[in-house]
Amino acid sequence: MASREPRGRPVLRRVTQITALSPHVAAAAVAETPAKTPAADPDALKAYQRVQNGSDVRGIALDTNPDEPVTLTPAMMYFLGAAFAEWLSAKRDQPIGSLRVSIGRDPRLSSPLMAASIATGLTSAGVSVARFGPCTTPAMFMSCILPEHKYDGAIMITASHLPVNRNGAKFYTCEGGLDKADIGALVKRAAELATEAGQLPADRFNDHAFVVTAALQASDELVQWVEFLPVYATYLRELMKAAIAHPDNRDAPLTGFKIVVNPGNGGGAFIADQVLGPLGADVSASIHLEPDGSFPNHTPNPEDKKAVAATTKAVLAAGADLGIMLDTDVDRSGVVDAAGNGINRNRYIALMSAITLRENPGETIVTDSCTSNGLATFITQLGGKHFRFKKGYKNIINKGIELNDSGVPCPLMMETSGHGAMRENYFLDDGAYGALKIVIEMVRRRLQGEPDISDLLKDLRDPVEAMEIRVAIKASDARAEGDKVTAAFKEWVDAGCAGASHWQLEKENYEGWRLRVTEEGDKEGWILLRPSLHDPDIVLNVESEHKGGMRTILEHILEFFKEHPEFEVSTAKVEEYVAAR
């Protein structure tokens, strides 16, 4: 692919393309030098900012639910592509025309159009684009790393496990995923470019006409279709062969193992077909391999009860050694052991910690804020240190990087959601890598005559009760209301939680407030109250070591909300839970 344009803003080229649609921009196009980009139209800015979801882009892409109007359109993807071209050029200090960006997508119904639109945004700016078609999030990052590919940037079109009408994008360079601040800059710039082009998100008809026209006028020469997944699968196979180093069967070290893969009709079937199968595993009992963006079987999410039940059933029916559950874009995973026990959330972190701490004794494991007390004890008993930080995969990854940089070795950062990153794997949020680490451990144990992987969890204490429940925020400024509730909760705690002397604030709190609750002698429980990262909710994570403990804790929480009728929230779900018990 040849690079074309000199470095610079892609305004004239884009403006020429959309002349027919935006007359006022056509006038600007005849100017010799492009005028300074105008500030973003306030409504456009709001619309673009609304689709920022922390360190990715997410929105409603399909008009399938009257209560959920579309918030992410193909034209918005186009301008996000154009904005990424500029961002990447500045980041890499490279002319736009020399940049190469790869684009992959998940099997969602809206993904092909979204991928085409963002590709057009990039090519209209002069970037060379490699389209991969169906791919996974970790593979997209690896396309910036693997020799002979090494793209300057990569974009994955996905909304992970979210409902069918959602979509979004994740952006990468060889340094990893873009941060919240980078995405903030990207959405702002996209809003400015859209304003400049007179392409305001509210106008849906114009939106579609714009994208079609732009696509028709875009240069095909800047787009190549590349089959990257087989390259990535080869990389993963070689990695496994080297890690297992089977004394008698180096090339097919999984011979004799039966593994069920359940990608939930997302993008992870290649783990069965192109990675585990060719290494000798019998993957014939795998389920839901067919990519299907309507997710007909269950949500592709290792936390989903139906996903666990389906995988367990398949493992037990086939007498398999292991089941692997993947989310849609394969940045999260969970497993099922040979006895059919689902290993996700705290148990998955415990399993990964046991493996990682054997390889990196005494080091620190970073987790999200709602991990169980049992997990903390488990990590400590293994000789490791536990750093319980915040929610959000990017938050824990950045904390892990920061700790390593400051001389605190940290090999694993994991969330209960199944997001996990390892120092040995580019600090990449990678569900495939985690699951493959477990396969490697399973083989190692058999070769050494050690018991099955589930033996690693025998000392993990599971809570008797555990759940997450949400208090919906009805106020228009949900973030501000969430902060007010959190501040009032702290005051309530400081004032003795209305007489609950057995409620104690944890020493380290990085988001919201986590309280240790001691009841019934030495039986413990805890509650974490925090504003959701992205949704208009106050999230309550609760665990108890005795039956009925969660109800008592939540009853007390309801008292807190009763004392604060000024908050615009709905505690209906908590009330329902308490009333039902």
Ligand X SMILES: O=P(O)(O)OC[C@H]1O[C@H](O)[C@H](O)[C@@H](O)[C@@H]1O
Walk across the sheet containing 259-262 and list its strands: 259-262, 322-326, 333-337, 342-343
228 Cα distance to chain centroid: 21
List CB contacts of 245: < 8 A, sequence separation 6 or more. Answer: none
Q: Which of 15, 4, 68, 72 is nearest to 38 (CA)?
A: 15
User: Are 138 and 144 in contact, with CB atoms under 8 Å apart?
Assistant: no
Beta bridge partners of 348: none
- Per-residue contact string for residues 133-162; x = within reach of ligand X by CB under 6 A: ------------------------------
Q: Please, what is the minimum distance in Å from the beta carbon of residue 371 to ligand X?
A: 12
Determine the Cα–Cα distance for residues 183 and 179; give it in Å rounded to an integer: 6
Q: Please, what is the minimum distance in Å from the beta carbon of residue 396 to ligand X?
A: 8
- The dihedrals phi and psi of 306, each to the nearest 5 degrees, come to -70, -35
List CB contacts of 560: < 8 A, sequence separation 6 or more. Answer: 488, 489, 492, 497, 498
- Per-residue contact string for residues 536-575; x = within reach of ligand X by CB under 6 A: ---x------------------------------------
Residue 301 makes contact with ligand X by CB under 6 A: no
Q: Which stretch binds ligand X (CB under 6 A): 110-118, 193-201, 413-421, 442-450?
A: 413-421
Residue closer to ligand X, measured from CB, 329 or 524: 329
Residue closer to ligand X, measured from CB, 223 or 326: 326
Residue closer to ligand X, measured from CB, 157 or 289: 157
Q: Which stretch binds ligand X (CB under 6 A): 118-126, 402-410, 412-420, 497-505?
A: 412-420
Residue type, 250: R
Residue type, 163: P
Q: Please, what is the minimum distance in Å from the beta carbon of residue 399 to ligand X?
A: 13
DSSP 8-class letter at 96: G
Q: Please, what is the minimum distance in Å from the beta carbon of residue 395 to ligand X?
A: 8
Q: How many residues bind ligand X (CB under 6 A)?
A: 11
Q: How far is CA 77 from CA 59, 82, 143, 293, in A?
A: 11, 9, 21, 19
Q: Which of 236, 159, 276 is nearest to 425 (CA)?
A: 236
Determine the Cα–Cα distance for residues 357 and 365; give it in Å rounded to an integer: 9
Q: Please, what is the minimum distance in Å from the beta carbon of residue 159 to ligand X?
A: 10
List CB contacts of 353: < 8 A, sequence separation 6 or more. Answer: 365, 375, 378, 379, 382, 384, 412, 414
Residue closer to ligand X, measured from CB, 121 or 418: 418
Q: Where do we find the tokens 């304003």?
A: 195
User: Are 393 and 421 in contact, with CB atoms under 8 Å apart?
Assistant: yes
Q: Where do we find the tokens 């005559």?
A: 449
Q: Please, what is the minimum distance in Å from the beta carbon of residue 195 to ligand X?
A: 29
Q: Please, what is the minimum distance in Å from the beta carbon of residue 537 to ligand X?
A: 6
Query: Secondary structure of 277-338 in the HEC alphabet?
Result: CCCCCECCCCCCCCCCCCCCCCCCCCCCHHHHHHHHHHHHHHCCCEEEEECCCCCEEEEEEC
Q: Please, what is the minimum distance in Å from the beta carbon of residue 369 to ligand X?
A: 9
Q: Identify residues 374-403 at the interface with ligand X (CB under 6 A).
A: 391-393
Q: Please, what is the minimum distance in Å from the beta carbon of residue 381 to ligand X?
A: 26
Residue closer to ligand X, measured from CB, 145 or 533: 533
Residue type, 486: T
CA dihedral 484, 486, 488, 491 (to 10 degrees): -140
Determine the Cα–Cα distance for residues 222 and 58; give it in Å rounded to an integer: 27
- Per-residue contact string for residues 511-540; x = within reach of ligand X by CB under 6 A: ---------------------xxxx---x-
Residue closer to ligand X, measured from CB, 166 or 298: 166
Contacting ligand X (CB under 6 A), which of 195, 346, 417, 425? 417
Residue closer to ligand X, measured from CB, 123 or 416: 416
- The dihedrals phi and psi of 323, each to the nearest 5 degrees, come to -120, 145
Residue closer to ligand X, measured from CB, 152 or 415: 415
User: Are 334 and 341 in contact, with CB atoms under 8 Å apart?
Assistant: no
Residue closer to ligand X, measured from CB, 131 or 386: 386
Residue closer to ligand X, measured from CB, 335 or 539: 539
Residue closer to ligand X, measured from CB, 272 or 538: 538
Residue closer to ligand X, measured from CB, 161 or 258: 161
Q: Identify residues 181-240 at the interface with ligand X (CB under 6 A).
A: none
Determine the Cα–Cα distance for residues 66 and 86; give it in Å rounded to an integer: 36
Q: Please, what is the minimum distance in Å from the beta carbon of residue 201 to ligand X?
A: 23
Contacting ligand X (CB under 6 A), which of 258, 419, 484, 514? 419
Residue closer to ligand X, measured from CB, 179 or 559: 179
Determine the Cα–Cα distance for residues 452 and 439; give it in Å rounded to an integer: 11
User: Are 255 and 278 in contact, with CB atoms under 8 Å apart?
Assistant: no
Residue closer to ligand X, measured from CB, 258 or 394: 394
Q: Please, what is the minimum distance in Å from the beta carbon of residue 54 to ligand X?
A: 7
Q: Please, what is the minimum distance in Å from the beta carbon of residue 233 to ligand X?
A: 25
Q: Which stretch binds ligand X (CB under 6 A): 109-117, 415-423, 432-440, 548-556?
A: 415-423
Q: Please, what is the minimum distance in Å from the beta carbon of residue 393 to ligand X?
A: 4
Q: Please, what is the minimum distance in Å from the beta carbon of residue 320 to ligand X?
A: 29
Residue numbers at the binding site for ligand X (CB under 6 A): 391-393, 415, 417, 419, 532-535, 539
